[in-house]
């Protein structure tokens, strides 16, 4: 007798093929049959009449490295149909960290990943995995090249010595041996932004010729996005490695409608050349990151303490204002989004909590300051522990990326301990189906499901995931498309997605009739 039978649903199997009517049989955490099974018997039968049956959704770009250690982790993910997530993105993994630099790196990660408490083991990825509590969904990890460099050399060195490269290579190889699914880059962040292209290639040398995915937050995502992509294609050709571009976008109105087409054309040419390259996108016009990234990359030399000291210097501020106004050579978010397009979402000091959700322009007006001084004063007072939401992308560019066969869907969810979140944390995958499938019709349901299941599974080589077929893992969603709703907004982001009737993780019912059951069947996924 089967453990579970999902009867009478419409299967969207994750491959991009047209939906079809079928039953789905589950036993011992695996899918044993998909088809017309009138004679099948099971200990439990779920009626899926009038509903879609799909693989569980996969998000290969989250920043829940530390959230995975918090109580209640998994509920907001499961409620939007996520059964697998991958952390350690943008070069910012919580492990491995050199013990002597843990506090320094933790301060830098805080606005993205939240507070690093003592119960989180970070000496190695093996320690991190061993200390991770049971979870209701599957989690995997990339090793962040940024923390490898910071562990080896801190944030002060712009050019590394042989000993530093050896330390980076040693930790990278150990993390991959411990089960990291690949390596993530954050070239827009310190200290990776200090690499030249040649130095980056040297840092990634242990990956040469290996089928190990490299995901990358590129050096620029505004006016220089095409040039940044060309750099990564050079890296891919030189080292013969798979390269996946994280959250592709063109920031700033002047770049909309032009840069993305060029970037996708470059990726397509590279694929035809034989390179293993692709990209992903989050379906929102606003991003979210640390407020310090309004600053030029070289300004971040020396780490948080050094940044705070520099921001207190009036002469430095004048120079900073000139550089932001000029905007050459870096993603000038203050100009690309505008001071009114940068909202502060996570502020550490209690006296600043009233300013959460307000733009820098609004706060500056309240304080009677110019926006730059307001921003600098906040960064100093908050010790740079500030998250922001920045409105800088075009929905039509998002549509263009979504419609490309090279793209899959991610959330890029950040998990600061305090304050507001971006609505994508709670609702990306339901939002995609509700807005871009139901409302706008720019994707068919089978195309959207493909971009949330098989395609991301293939990017990171997630065996057994992403397709609803015999022999695959029983990570399964059951829902009615017309009932899906994502209520989270920028003003009220912490609202659980609605409409998932059932979510199965390894054959265990993790969501039943829209409610989480508390079952913790998730596994730690290793390469």
Task: Using the predicted structure, report yes or no on whether residue 248 has a pLDDT greater than 90.
Answer: yes
Q: What whole-number distance in Å separates Cα of residue 228 and Cα of residue 217?
A: 10
- Please name every residue paired with 5 in a beta bridge, in sequence order, or none if there are none: 25, 45
Task: Return residue ranges of the chain for CATH 2.30.40.10.
Answer: 2-55+471-516
Q: What whole-number distance in Å separates Cα of residue 346 and Cα of residue 386?
A: 5
Across 16-27, average pLDDT: 98
Q: What whole-number distance in Å separates Cα of residue 360 and Cα of residue 382?
A: 14
Domain with residues 2-55+471-516, CATH architecture:
Roll (2.30)
pTM over 0.85: yes
Over the range 456-485, which residues count as b (16 or more CB within 10 Å of their CB) and which as e?
bbebbebebbbbbbeebbbbbbbbebeebb
Per-residue pLDDT at 135: 97
Element (H, E) at 211: none
Across 396-419, average pLDDT: 96
Across 21-32, average pLDDT: 98
Listed in sequence order, the residues at least 6 apart from 430 whose beta carbon sits closer than 8 Å to its beta carbon are 80, 81, 484, 485, 486, 497, 498, 499, 500
Q: What whole-number distance in Å separates Cα of residue 222 and Cα of residue 517?
A: 43
* Cα distances (Å, whole numbers) of residue 69 to 49, 121, 178: 37, 10, 19
* Cα distances (Å, whole numbers) of residue 197 to 172, 208, 225, 235, 435: 19, 15, 15, 8, 39
Q: Tell which residue, 234, 247, 125, has the closest CA to residue 186.
A: 247
Per-residue pLDDT at 303: 86
Task: Using the predicted structure, report yes or no on whether residue 408 has a pLDDT greater than 80.
Answer: yes
Residue with tokens 């948080």: 304
Q: What is the DSSP letter of 485?
A: B
Please provide the average confidence, as pLDDT, over all residues in the chain.
96
Helices (runs of H) and strands (runs of E) counted in the chain = 17, 21
- pLDDT-derived band at 297 (thresholds 50, 70, 90) equals confident
Across 65-87, average pLDDT: 97
Task: Return residue ranges of the chain for CATH 3.20.20.140.
Answer: 58-285+393-459
CATH ID of 58-285+393-459, from 3.20.20.140, 3.40.50.300, 3.40.50.40, 1.10.645.10: 3.20.20.140
Task: Using the predicted structure, report yes or no on whether residue 158 has a pLDDT greater than 90.
Answer: no
pLDDT (tens digit, 9 = 90+) per residue, 30-40?
Answer: 999 999 999 99
- pLDDT-derived band at 407 (thresholds 50, 70, 90) equals very high
Please count the other Cβ atoms lying within 10 Å of the Cβ belonging to residue 41. Answer: 10
Per-residue pLDDT at 66: 97
Per-residue pLDDT at 65: 98
Task: Using the predicted structure, report yes or no on whether residue 327 has a pLDDT greater than 80.
Answer: no
């Amino acid at each position: 007798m089967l453990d579970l039978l999902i009867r009478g649903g419409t299967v969207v199997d994750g491959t991009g093929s047209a939906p079809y009517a079928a039953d789905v049989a589950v036993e011992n955490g695996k899918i044993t049959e998909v088809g017309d099974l009138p004679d099948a018997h099971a200990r439990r039968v779920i009626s899926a009449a009038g509903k879609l049956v799909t693989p569980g959704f996969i998000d290969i770009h989250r920043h829940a490295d530390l959230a995975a250690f918090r109580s209640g982790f998994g509920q907001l993910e499961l409620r939007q149909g996520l059964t697998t997530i991958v952390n350690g993105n943008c070069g910012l993994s919580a492990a491995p960290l050199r013990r002597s630099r843990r506090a320094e790196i933790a301060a830098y990660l805080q606005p993205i990943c939240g507070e690093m408490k003592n119960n989180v083991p970070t000496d190695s990825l093996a320690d991190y995995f061993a200390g991770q509590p049971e979870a209701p969904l599957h989690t995997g990890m990339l090793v962040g090249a940024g923390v490898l460099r910071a562990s080896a050399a801190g944030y002060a060195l712009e050019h590394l010595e042989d000993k530093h490269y050896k330390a980076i290579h040693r930790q990278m190889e150990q993390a991959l041996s411990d089960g990291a699914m690949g390596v993530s880059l954050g070239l827009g962040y310190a200290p990776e932004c200090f690499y030249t292209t040649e130095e980056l290639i040297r840092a990634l040398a242990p990956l040469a010729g290996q089928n190990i995915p490299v995901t990358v937050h590129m050096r620029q995502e505004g006016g220089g996005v095409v040039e940044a992509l060309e750099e990564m294609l050079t890296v891919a050709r030189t080292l013969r490695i798979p390269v996946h571009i994280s959250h592709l976008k063109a920031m700033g109105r002047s770049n909309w409608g032009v840069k993305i087409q060029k970037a996708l054309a470059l990726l397509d040419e590279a694929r035809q050349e034989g390179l293993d390259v692709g990209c992903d996108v989050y379906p929102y016009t606003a991003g979210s990151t640390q407020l310090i990234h309004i600053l030029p990359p070289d300004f971040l030399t020396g780490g948080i303490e050094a940044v705070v000291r520099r921001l207190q210097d009036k002469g430095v501020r004048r120079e900073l204002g000139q550089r932001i106004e000029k905007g050459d050579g870096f993603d000038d978010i203050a100009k690309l989004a505008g001071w009114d397009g940068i909202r502060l979402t996570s502020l550490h000091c209690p006296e600043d909590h009233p300013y959460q959700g307000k733009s820098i322009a609004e706060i500056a007006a309240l304080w009677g300051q110019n926006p730059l001084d307001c921003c600098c004063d906040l960064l100093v007072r908050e010790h740079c522990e500030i998250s922001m939401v920045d409105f800088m992308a075009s929905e039509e560019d998002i549509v263009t990326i979504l419609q490309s066969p090279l793209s899959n869907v991610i959330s890029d969810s950040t998990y600061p301990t305090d304050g507001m979140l971006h609505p994508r944390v709670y609702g990306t995958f339901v939002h995609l189906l509700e807005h871009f499938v139901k409302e706008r019709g720019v994707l068919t349901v089978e195309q959207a499901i493909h971009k949330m299941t098989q395609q991301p599974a293939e990017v990171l080589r997630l065996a057994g995931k992403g397709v609803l077929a015999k022999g695959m893992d029983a990570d399964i969603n059951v829902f009615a498309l017309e009932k899906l709703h994502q209520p989270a907004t920028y003003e009220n982001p912490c609202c659980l997605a609605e409409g998932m009737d059932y979510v199965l993780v390894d054959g265990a019912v993790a969501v039943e009739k829209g409610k989480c059951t508390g079952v913790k069947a998730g596994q730690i996924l290793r390469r």
